[in-house]
Chains A and B, each alone.
Chain A
Amino acid sequence: MISIIYFSLFASIAMGCGLYLLIAKHPLYGALALIGNMISLAGIYSLLSAPFLGVVQILTYAGAIMMLVVFVIMVLNTAHDHEVPRFDWRGVYLVPVPAALALLLLALVYFNSPVADATALRGTAQNISQFMFDTSRTDNGYWILFEFIGLLLLGAMVSAVLIAKKRLSTHKEDV
């Protein structure tokens, strides 16, 4: 009962924020709506007995990544922002994609409804760490994938720094 109340609350906030993100006039309001969406999603994760996932959602997405987005919007904030049309007809061509995705999900749930124990804890910090880093498991573990993703992100970061540095140095040479 109480979880249904909370779910409808979070879901309606998430839907409202998502809609506002699409129709917001100023990019900053869109970003703030996205933050609201992410926070309510974190609430839904916690309701699905995955508190760690919810907290990480707020910490990385709402806290860090969206902060960067807001920062960039503020840096690039120009007077022309208000001239961006609120609705673009070309956007209509993209509507089938999310519609198809939603239909696919609905069909999946209808024909093959997932059975899960609602009371079991799935996404706690301990569960996730055991699931990902237990090297003694014989079935498919995730720790080597995790290492690969870590390497990939490190490479991306190093190349980003390199590109930024290069631009700075050429700028100096120009001057």
Chain B
Amino acid sequence: MIDQIIQMTLNLDMPQMSVLEWIITLGKFAFVFIPLAFIVVMIFMERKGASLIQDRLGPNRSALPVFGGLRFFGFVHNFTDGIKLFTKETFIPTYAHKVWYVVAPGIGFLVAFLTPAVIPWFAPLTWWTGDHISQVSGMIIDSDTGILLMFALSSLSIYGTAMSAWASNSKYALLGGMRATAMMISYEVSMGLSLMGIFLLAGSFNLQHIVAWQEAHVWGIFVQPVAFFVFLTSMIAETGRAPFDVAESESEIVAGYHLEYSAMRFGLFYMGEYAHIVIASIIIATLFLGGYAIPFVSTDLLRAHVDIALALCLGGLGTMIGGFHLMVRRWKKVYATMGAKDAGTRNREYSFLQFTSGVASPVVLALAVAVFFLLNPMAATTVDGTPIFPAWVSIAAAAVQVVVLIAKAFLFCWIWIWVRWTLPRFRYDQVMSLGWKILLNLALVNLVVTAIIAKLVTGVR
């Protein structure tokens, strides 16, 4: 119906698709907002991770003025930060290039919105509509150029850094921008070359095919451990985080490329960095940890037992909320014995958390049991040897797969934070020699060895 309207109004050559296919195809575009949603959680994770590694408490002052100050373990700090960034003066230096100064911070942030388009969020949906099989890919752009498109877009993001550095008309900023540029050029080579091995094995650039290969054989991290190491290191360097943050090292060039920026323009750099980390984490999870695939469970098996999978997901969530409930109870007891001055307010906050988690946990667990008993994936109709399930089964399985992918991505997000707060900053020459003399050679040797082994084992490629 929608395609008919579009065809009538615009006279475009549109494929014939059913309404459900249109809804899913357009709804997939919502995935571009996943990095944004991650940013809020990532900043919170970073603060808490830093405080964990540095053996301190972390943010614990900002609070919502209800129930004696709801702090949500420092999560409220994010929002006060946002208010601060939005309400500060957006300053433009006198001799800055006005247009590029304003436009440049947005480039890197824009790319963060584009790159999720090539990530397969779930296995291709297949269901039976009337007379034919409907099929919707799990990626927004299903092209056989696949991850190359993501590399192409992310290589453009460095122009944001370079142009903001140049437009600020400051020597420190320019130095930072040039360091960022040089590092990007150096590490992009080993980043691309390290993945050649896994492209060779999967026989495709398309991430969907790579995940399908991993689902059928073995996770990429087991066949390509060297490539995993090289790619992870290059990706950390690409995001410009410690230990590779020579582009903004405060002890040498004050703050590097974002020195002259204030308020939300600085906020764009800050959030763009986290968006970049999220994208990199999802890409690494997709390439080396099997993406959306659950180990030892193929997509067909998942669809056949989608009720169990959903019940397990909900059960896990309910158990986690229950564990949280027990944790809050213990804190409350400990806090009562400490004799702190604000024991009354903290007691009210903890009581609120204890009550809500105490209610939510049984509700979610009951929902899990209900899902297990009430849902019942109908028997598949076999078409050309492949089982075809009803539409809702495919969609439910896709939801489980998105959760699995995001869980794997969180693991790598944590590695980013862990590395940042563990390793000291490298010197600029150390960064360059690591990139050109170690990682590039490792990636090349890995490619040659993979090619020889693949030739010996498979014989054809």
Residues of A within 8 A of B (CB): 1-2, 28, 32, 35, 39, 51-52, 54-56, 58-59, 62-64, 67-68, 70-71, 74-75, 77, 124-126
Contacts and interface: CB of A to CB of B under 8 A. Distances in A.
Main secondary structure of the interface of B (DSSP, over half): helix
Contacts of B188: 63-64
B144 A51 contact: yes
B158 interface: yes
Given A1-B12, A62-B156, A71 B185 contact: yes
Q: Interface centre among B152, B153, B155, B166, by most A CB within 10 Å?
A: B152
Contact of B144 (A28, A56, A125): A125
B181 A59 contact: no
Interface of B: 10-13, 143-145, 148-149, 151-153, 155-156, 158-159, 162-163, 166, 174, 177-178, 181-182, 184-185, 188, 204-205
A41 B252 CA distance: 40
A135 to B, nearest CB: 13
B156 A58 contact: yes
B158 A74 contact: no
A70 B452 CA distance: 39
B155 A63 contact: yes
Contacts of A125: 144-145, 148, 204-205
B377 to A, nearest CB: 35
Nearest to B158: A67
A74 B177 contact: yes
B144 A75 contact: no
B152 A67 contact: no
Nearest to B151: A59
A54 B149 CA distance: 9
- Chain A CB count within 10 A is highest, among B144, B163, B184, for B144
28 contacts: A1-B12, A2-B12, A32-B163, A51-B144, A52-B144, A52-B145, A54-B145, A55-B149, A56-B148, A58-B152, A59-B155, A63-B151, A64-B155, A64-B185, A64-B188, A67-B158, A67-B162, A67-B181, A67-B185, A70-B159, A70-B162, A70-B181, A71-B162, A71-B178, A71-B185, A74-B166, A77-B166, A124-B145
A2 B9 CA distance: 12
Contacts of A75: 178
Contacts of A39: 156
A63 B205 contact: no
Contacts of A32: 159, 163
Contacts of A51: 143-145
Contacts of A63: 151-152, 155-156, 188
Contact of A74 (B174, B185, B205): B174
Contacts of B155: 58-59, 62-64, 67
Given A52-B145, A125-B145, A125-B204, 4 more contacts: A63-B151, A64-B185, A67-B162, A74-B178
A62 B151 CA distance: 12
Contacts of A74: 162, 166, 174, 177-178, 181
B145 A55 contact: yes
Contacts of A52: 144-145, 148
Contact of A67 (B144, B145, B174, B184): B184
Contacts of B149: 55
A2 B145 CA distance: 22
A75 B156 CA distance: 19
B198 to A, nearest CB: 15
Contact of B182 (A55, A62, A71, A124): A71
A56 B143 CA distance: 14
A71 B181 CA distance: 7
A68 B158 CA distance: 11
Contacts of B148: 52, 55-56, 59, 125
Scoring A56, A58, A63, A124 by chain B CB atoms within 10 A of each residue's CB, the highest score goes to: A63
A55 B185 contact: no
B144 A2 contact: no
Please list the 7 inter-chain residue pairs (A to B) with the smallest Cβ-Cβ separation, ordered nearest first. Answer: A63-B155, A58-B152, A59-B152, A55-B145, A55-B148, A2-B12, A71-B181
Contacts of B10: 1-2
A95 B184 CA distance: 38
A63 to B, nearest CB: 3
A158 B122 CA distance: 45
Contacts of B156: 39, 58, 62-63
A122 to B, nearest CB: 13
A124 B144 contact: yes
A40 B170 CA distance: 32
A32 to B, nearest CB: 8
A32 B167 CA distance: 13
Contacts of B163: 32
Contacts of A59: 148, 151-152, 155
Contacts of B166: 28, 74, 77
Nearest to A29: B100
Contacts of B153: 58
A143 to B, nearest CB: 15
B207 to A, nearest CB: 13
Contacts of B158: 67
A35 B13 CA distance: 31
Contacts of B184: 67
Contacts of A126: 144
A1 B13 CA distance: 7
B422 to A, nearest CB: 31
Nearest to A66: B159
Contacts of B159: 32, 35, 67, 70
A51 B185 CA distance: 24
Contacts of A55: 145, 148-149, 152
Contacts of B178: 71, 74-75
